[in-house]
Every structure is written in C-alpha cells, then in structure tokens.
Chains A and B, each alone.
Chain A
Amino acid sequence: MTIFIQTFVSGILIGGIYALIGIGMTLIMGVMGIINLAHGQLMMVAMYITFVLFHFLHLDPYISLLVTMPALFLLGMFLQKFLLNPLMKVDSILPENQVLMTVGIGMVLAEIARFIFSSDYKTVKTAYSSSAFFIGNISFSLPMSVAFFFAVAFTGALFWFLIKTDTGRAIRATAQDKDAATLMGINSNRITIITFGLGSSLVAAAGTLLIPIFYLFPDIGGPFTLKAFVITILGGMGSTVGAIVGGVVLGVAESLGATYVGMGYREMIGFVIFILVLVFLPGGLKRLTRI
C-alpha cells in the first residue's frame, strides 16, 4: 500500500509540471487551431538557458525563472510573427503547413543546441537536487514539490490573466471564434503572437523547474512535445481546465505504469491513454465537463 501511495504522490507531483506544459500547448491550440510540435524543444531551450546561467553565473534555477520566461516569451513571439503568421497567406493544397513548420522549428532548435553544447548529457546539481522530506512514510522530493507549487501558482496566475485582463479576454474570444473576435475589433494577429509567447514562457517555466531533477541533452524536447500533445488530446483541444486534469492524469498513469508494468513502458502509457481517449472519448475530458 505504501508503494502505491508513494507512486501516486510522485505521479501527482510530476503531473503538476505536465499540466504546466500542457496548458501552454492548449492555449496555442485554442487560438491558432494547430498543435505546436516545437513545444518540448522550446522547453529544451529554456533548460539550456538555465544551465548556462547556473554554470557561468551560479544562478539558482528558481531565480533564473526571471530570465528564461521573458526570454522564451520573446522567442515565441518572434517565431509566431516571422515564421508561423506569414504562412496564413501562403495558399497550398494542404492545410497542415503550420504544423509541419513547427516540426521544422523544433528540429532547428534541437540541432542548434547540439551544435553549441554537443550531445553530452548535462546536469545542474544544486544542493537540494536529491533532498526529500517525509510525511508519514511517504517521501516528497524537495525540488519536485517546489516545482509543483510553482506550477500551481503559475496556473493560478494564468487563470487570473485570462479571466480578468483585457488581453486575456481577447485571447479567449479569439479562441472561441476568430472571425467574430476580429469583427469586435480584436487584432487577432497580435493575439496569436502574444499567445504563442505566453505558451512558450509557460513551458519555459516548466523546463526551468524540471532542471534540478532531470539531466539535459538536445533531444529531451521530443518526448515532452508528445506528452504535451497527449495531454491536449486527453483534456480536450483548447481546454485549459482539461489540460490541468490531463496533465495530472498522465503523471499518475505514468508513475503507476513505471512501478507496476516496467520502466521501459513508461513512455508508452501516455500513448495507450491517447488511443483509448480517441476511441472511447473523442473530444477528451472537455466533453464531460463542458469547460
């Protein structure tokens, strides 16, 4: 029983981070109608920034959040403005151009990282990297718990932003109906750029929070892109609440799978969920909650 609870707890903790990654993707998905397949690679960029800051300036990863989030916000805005938005004007037979473009962006980011840092595994070893505290018999990894609380805080802040501010309302309006939003005087081009920046900075936060626990290499982005994608499908396209639930469900399912099925299949659990959702619950959790 202890093992079960322990697995469950670590699943929820990692699920919080997954939710942060998933929310970024689902925001972009909602406004632009495409899945950003460079999402994990953007996270990788943030992780390398954190690594460099730690290595050369000895900056604590949690402080470097102040650098990575704005940096990735700018990078995301740049990508959207100069690479993705111009594609709307190119007419071609296939509408999936933007998705393919994000794949290209992801590849370029990963290869640039490989070019600069080589394929070696890097780690950021902080004093608290492997420390843990206990509640009863259950151990809580300290960096995971901190990351979880940061993730909850960022999610709360995002909700406040989306519900209370004008820009947030404009984002939600664009996600609901782009044409109607444009008719109401919202500059939807600008909104897509802001949204992409916002999604990128959320995933940057996730990357920076993960770095005390994970090792880092240029290809780390791919699996996280796919996780974010599974979360988005599971939660329902464009649903932020769904992304949170989806992230936690994926985290728990992965830990349970790793404990009871086998470590090698950990990555596959997400895809099994993915197929089950597609077959039995197309539309994801959004269909159940209607949010």
Chain B
Amino acid sequence: MKKKIIASILWSLVFLLFPLVVRSSYYQHLVIIAMMWVVIGSSWNLLAGYTGQVSFGHAIFFGCGAYTAGILVTKLAVSAWWGMLFGGIVAMAVGLFVGWVCFRLRGPYFALATLAGGEIFRLIATNWEGLTEGMVGILIIPSFKSKLPYYYIALALAVSCILSIRVIMKSKWGYYFVSIREDQDAAASLGINTTLYKSISLLVSSFFTGMAGAFYMNYMAFIDPEVVFSLHFISIMAILVGIVGGVATIWGPAAGAFIMVGLQETFRSAFFGLAPKWVSQAHALVFGLLVIFVIMFLANGIVGDWPKIKRTVFRVRRPV
C-alpha cells in the first residue's frame, strides 16, 4: 500500500515536471499526442476490454468530437475549447445511435458493424461540404503558442479519464460490464439489462473519445475527414494501443499509448535520422507488421502478459 502511494506520487511528479525539464517542443509534442492516445485507448478499453464489445470504429467518436470543435469555430464563431465539452456530448449522442444499431449484433459482427459505421461517418464528413468543408478540412487559429497549456490540458484529460474508468470499474457497473463480457446470456439470466449496460459503457467511452477528438482539433488546429475518421490510424490504432498495453487492465492502455506513439515516431523519423530514408517511407508497413506481431505474440498485452514477459526475457522463475 505504502509502495503504491510513493509510486503514484513519483509518477505524478514526473508527468507534472516533464515539460519544465524537457524544453524541446518536439518531445513535448510526442508526450501530448501520447496522452491523447491514453484517453482514446483507455476509453476503447472500457468498451472492448471490460465490456467485451470490440469496437473497430472509435474514429466515429474521435472524428465527431473533432468536427464539433471545428464547426463551433467556423459556423458559430465560438471558441474551439467549448468543443471539449460539446464534442464529448455530440460523440455521446452519436454513440447512442451507433449502439442502437450495433448492439443488435454480437462478437465479431459488432466489431464489423462499428467498422462500417466509421466509414459511413468518414463519407458523410467528406460529402457534406456545407457543414464540414469536405476534403478541404477545417483550419483554426491555435489559442496558444507554447505547448505548455496543451500539455497540462492533455494531462488533466488523461488523468480524469483513467480515474473515471477506475471508479466505474470498482463500482457495480464494472461488475456488470465484466459479466457481460464473460457470458452475455448468463448475465441476462441474472437480471442484468445487458443492452442498457453495454450502452452505458459505450456512452462513457464515446464521451472521452469525443473529448480527445476536440482536444486534437484545438491542438493540431487542422482536421480533415481522412485524418480524424481514418480507419487505420484512429480506429485500428485505438485497438493496438489497447492490445499492446493489455486489454482489461487500468494502466495497460496508458502504457500502450506511450509504446505505440514512441514506436510509430521512431519508424516515421527513421530511427531519428539514423537509418536510411526508406525506413521512414515504410512506416505504414511497419505499423501493419506491428499489428500482426502483437496479435501473434502479445495477445494480452504488455501489462496483461507481464508475468510471461518476465519469465522469458528476464529469466525470472517464480517458485511453484
């Protein structure tokens, strides 16, 4: 218990002081993006890891959040920061609709339905030019020059997301979620309204993902449908973040987010300029290979498979 408190104080000090110590805006940017992925990965994990409803379409909520923030600026001329609230709410509303359609399906079919949902939203955002500017995208003027405010906003968002999920999973809801994942029919026969609790899980998940999307709009100041509704680089990335870190663990997606952003950046920059240039051209290829590798060898993630990793890598054997 004492060890846990000390560890959490240390971790919070590290994250609070990081941008003050590391002044390079490049590394600050990477950590900000990783924090954003902590939010998306954790909320994906709530729906997929804990409730067992594997979503291949988290880009829906991310994109809706981002577009809400962007449209608030271009159409209503209010600050994009309102999008942090309204983006989450719009994403929730969309989540309600997505759930109404997709919760008729189970297992892999649910996954595929959400995947199709993501493509539908991408096409709508591309074609509804009156609202979304279509492929031109939305460009806003960022509020801050320095990365510091963004850093602390992202940190606050990530921490509040993880803590809320922790609270939810410690409550009765959490038990309902896990029981639905383990056996939906058994859960229903015990009197759990499975559709209701799946929807609750989806709503919480979509709310945080929408907020992350709105944050992305504020931070990057530019979005277009191919970026925020991307199947590979949002929906699949969210799954990878969850799986690499470890599904159904609180800290797994957080670890996964830092690993995935780090890996992606390493390859994108061709090992920070050390490797030949073709490595950076192949970064999407590496991303795909990573998907295959992770599923084959790390199906339960770094946090989930930690005992196994300890055994094989560090040769630590526990007395039987």
A and B found bound together: yes
Q: Which residues of B contact A272 (CB under 8 A)?
A: 120
Interface range for B: 35 or more
Q: Say if the beta carbon of B141 comes within 8 Å of chain A.
A: no
Instruction: Provide the residues of chain B in CB contact with A233, threshold 8 Å.
Output: 112
Give the nearest-CB partner of B100 in chain A. A279
Complex Cα gap A93–B53 (Å) = 11
Closest A residue to B248 by beta carbon equals A93
The number of residue pairs between A and B whose CB atoms lie closer than 8 Å in the complex comes to 125
Docked complex Cα distance between A233 and B300 (Å):
30
Within 8 A of A (CB), among B41-55: 48-49, 52, 54
CB-defined interface of A194-209 with B at 8 Å, one 1/0 digit per residue? 0000000000000000
Q: Is the CB of A278 within 8 A of B113?
A: yes
Chain A contacts for B116, CB-based, 8 A: 226, 229-230, 271, 274
Q: Restricting to B91-136, which residues have a CB under 8 Å from any CB of A?
A: 101-102, 104-105, 107-109, 111-113, 115-116, 119-120, 123-124, 126-127
Query: By the criterion CB–CB under 8 Å, are A100 and B291 in contact?
Result: yes
Interface centre among B49, B292, B304 (most CB of A within 10 A): B292
Bitwise, B199-223 to A at CB < 8 A (1) or not (0) is 0000000000000000000000000
Q: Which 8 A-B pairs have the closest CB atoms?
A: A104-B291, A107-B288, A111-B285, A92-B299, A108-B288, A104-B292, A271-B120, A96-B54
Interface positions of A (Cβ within 8 A of B): 33-35, 37, 83, 86-87, 90-97, 99-101, 103-108, 110-112, 114-115, 222, 226, 229-230, 233, 237, 262, 264-265, 267-268, 271-272, 274-275, 278-279, 282
A99-B111, A103-B232, A107-B288 are known; give 15 further A-B pairs, CB within 8 A: A34-B108, A93-B52, A95-B108, A101-B295, A103-B56, A103-B291, A104-B289, A104-B295, A107-B236, A108-B292, A111-B284, A114-B285, A230-B116, A265-B127, A279-B104
Q: Report which B residues bind A (CB closer than 8 A).
A: 48-49, 52, 54, 56, 101-102, 104-105, 107-109, 111-113, 115-116, 119-120, 123-124, 126-127, 181, 231-232, 236, 239, 243, 247-248, 281-282, 284-285, 287-292, 295-296, 299-300, 304
